[in-house]
Amino acid sequence: MSIYETLNEQQQEAVYHTEGPLLILAGAGSGKTRVLTHRIAYLIEEKGVNPWNILAITFTNKAAGEMRERVDDIVGFGAESIWVSTFHSTCVRILRRHIDKLGYDTNFTIYDSDDQKTLMKDVCRLLQIDTKIYKERMLLSAISSAKDELVTPEEYRIKAEGDYNKQKTAQVYEEYEKQLRANNALDFDDLLVKTVQLFQTQADILDYYQERFRYIMVDEYQDTNTVQFELIRLLASKYRNLCVVGDDDQSIYKFRGANIKNILNFEQVYEDAKVIKLEQNYRSTSNILNAANAVIRNNCGRKDKTLWTDNGDGEKIHFRQFDSAYDEAEYIVGDIREHVDDGSCTYNDNAILYRTNAQSRMFEEKFVTANIPYKVVGGVNFYARREIKDLLSYLKTVDNGQDDLAVRRIVNVPKRGIGLTSINRVQEYASTHEIGFYEALRAVDLIPNIGRGASRLDSFVALIEHFKADALDMSILDLMQEIMDETGYIESLQAEDSIEAETRIENIDELMSKIAAYEEACEEANEPATLSGFLEEVALVADIDSLDESSDYVVLMTLHSAKGLEFPKVYLAGLEDGIFPSYMTITADDPEEVEEERRLCYVGITRAKQELTLTCARRRMIRGETQYNKMSRFLKEIPMDLLATGAVFEKDDEPPKQSAYAQARQTFRTRAFAGAAKPVRQFAVPEGNGPGYGIGDRVRHIKFGAGTVTAITEGGRDYEVTVDFDGPGTKKMFATFARLEKI
């Protein structure tokens, strides 16, 4: 039997259609990776395509690694010539060879989010930007959005004319880019932007890669943004053998710049495109898929498709509504413990998914109390830890002395008596003479008023030059060891004699293991292990790549992080309006925003293979305030016959008598003490008989928007008003402070 006969009819059609533009609409769990790998094998074995003429792009290192492994297994000889990588890795590989055409050195540094924040602080300080008004994160977000849309600083400044705030952002954008170039550094957005600029300005380089990649495949196409679309369009424009695979129902990264129109309008861009739908799901049971179909069907901006499976009906979906988030967490943790104890599952069969990172705290506390192993995916990235960034900055300085951020980070780490005054004088000299910070250090004798700091700075430069010379002959592992020995970095941590310092030393040991693993991998692939290559690999690591599926722990993660994963048992928690969909989405009054949230719910449901449990709470503490939320509208879109017996929808119970709210309410009902010697300050009661509106009236709140008054209670000091808001749900408040306006 041919390997292609193991595919279903639609999968075979996708494999056999090799020429011209092709859109594969692959529903969740429909075997798209299998289709892509078999398609690559078919191109080589049956169509005689050279392996090096094939490019396969996906979004995460994890997905690229899985595809690489499968391609190697199925193709065998010649598979190593196929480019299988992420967008960013592909671009880095191209830029390492050709970025000198754009005026950069090929040993450029890649700035992560922490580096960007540090650079932005420097830019704001230089331009005297008030960061209380113009938040650094907001400025970085605006610049990232501009780059996603291929808008240069000059174009941004022209478009900002007449808008004072945008003109400020344009000023920051220009200086930010100037500093990046001076540091011979690129941020993540630049990796894509500079590659597109390279192709747009260097026709010979574009032609080379068009000839090289005659067959292009792009996975997760629904997550592409404008710059990624343009990159692929340029590469594919000569031979037009472009195959894109995606699912518009799983487009959930709008906040990162993803443009769902790239997949929805594919046939308009490529009028001769073939469209194939993969609707058979191999992951989940019918009940889970029917729930997912019922929810996503409420979206208008989508291509019609319905998931189905031969896996059988399976268990019905479990639904539980709890009085509080505390009860919700207690139930889920207890349910996991019960099923592990009876042998029906292991810890790593279970995943708890939620809308926001803040929701993990309650679960973490319960897991610690119950002594259950767990891991929160998406916490502090290993490479963002202080000691790791310190040592990587040494490597970056050795590799690229133009990286001012890296040099400034380590110039006095460990402490070598170089004060902030000396550092500032070096920086002023560098800025005045328009040279890099490290270049200024090398000319420290020429810096006025540097004083006694000169000898220490000279020693630092001599140390770095020594490392640079040794790097030519040493392995990266030996170089890292020498850096730690010569600088006394480990000794400085040991001198702290604290548990935190011990943890940092353990992290450094892990970094050494990572370097060794990188060098071994290069040796196996018969490739040179370079310092630039190692720093590049480290820079491109994502949080999700740290998920070890072989370890036995419960996984906690946001729904955005869960995309592309699957688990036998999934708990989807916090399904309340105001939480999921989020309060901002509801109040935005934008149907597209709600549709994105619904796609996120669809992604969450389709992560489950065998069992799905949906939970919500009537009250939840958010930012120190108890909120009473309605059940999520997405829950109500699931047909009742798919839910297990005993699921009960909406129940308006009073909060328990022992709650803090009940106690406060009791205090409120007590009239102010009369007859005291000193006058008691009375709260102002709204004029007229009552607050100016009644039960059933529509009112508007400055924060929560429009809602309907459901109850008004007269107290001794004020009126207590209960309002069922359209978005955030039910709120109880005092009339005087609520300042509700009757609509």
**Residues annotated as binding site for ATP?**
26-33
Annotated catalytic residue within 220, 248, 403, 597: 220
Four-residue CA torsion sign, 28, 30, 33, 36: negative
Q: Residues 6 or more apart from 126 whose CB is under 8 A from it?
A: 175, 431
Q: Rounded CA gap, 572 and 580, in Å? A: 10
**Site of tokens 């009960």:** 648
Three-state SS string across 646-710, please?
CCCCCCCCCCCCCCHHHHHHHHHHCCCCCCCCCCCCCCCCCCCCCCCCCCCCEEEECCCEEEEEE
Give the number of other Cβ atoms within 10 Å of residue 220's Cβ: 25
Sign of CA dihedral 398, 402, 405, 408: positive
Beta bridge partners of 701: 705
Active site residue 452: no
Measured between alpha carbons, how far apart are the two ends of the chain, in Å? 71
DSSP per-residue string spanning 506-559: HHHHHHHHHHHHHHHHHHHTT----HHHHHHHHHT--GGGG--TTS--EEEEEH
Q: Which of 194, 607, 630, 732 is catalytic?
A: 607
In the three-class reduction of DSSP (H, G, I as helix; E, B as strand; rest coil), residue 396 is classed as helix
The rounded distance, in Å, linking the Cα atoms of 3 and 332 is 42
Q: Is 543 a catalytic residue?
A: no
Whether cis (ω within 30° of 0) applies to the bond prior to 153 is: no
33 is catalytic: yes
Strand partners, 187: 111
Query: What does the alpha-carbon distance between residue 470 and residue 465 come to, in Å, rounded to a whole number?
Result: 9
Known binding-site residues equal 26-33
Q: With beta carbons less than 8 A apart as the criterion, state whether 232 and 213 touch.
A: no
Judge whether 250 counts as a catalytic residue: yes
Name which of 173, 169, 172, 150 is nearest 161 in CA terms: 169
Q: Which residues pair with 707 in a beta bridge?
A: 699, 725
Q: How many CB atoms lie within 10 A of CB 666?
A: 10
Catalytic residue among 33, 116, 285, 585: 33
Q: What's the chain's Rg over C-alpha atoms?
A: 30
> Which residue out of 250, 321, 606, 615 is catalytically annotated?
250
Q: Cβ distance 302 to 293 under 8 Å?
A: no
Report how far residue 541's alpha carbon sits from residue 117's, in angstroms, rounded to the nearest whole number.
Answer: 18
Distance CA 212, CA 207 (A): 8
Which contiguous run of DSSP H or E holds residue 593?
helix 591-605
Catalytic residue chosen out of the listed positions 32, 302, 563, 609: 32
Query: Which tokens belong to 322?
Result: 């709890």
Q: Measuring CA to CA, which residue among 419, 413, 407 is closest to residue 488?
A: 413
Given a contact cutoff of 8 angstroms between Cβ atoms, the answer to whether 348 and 554 are in contact is yes
Task: Provide the token pair at 675.
Answer: 């007859």
Question: What is the C-alpha separation between 251 and 296, in angstroms, rounded?
Answer: 12
3-state helix, strand, coil in the chain (%, to 5): 50, 15, 35
Distance CA 406, CA 390 (A): 8
**Angle of CA points 551, 556, 557, to nearest 5°:** 115
φ, ψ dihedrals at 617, nearest 5° = -130, 145
Positions marked active-site = 32-33, 219-220, 250, 607
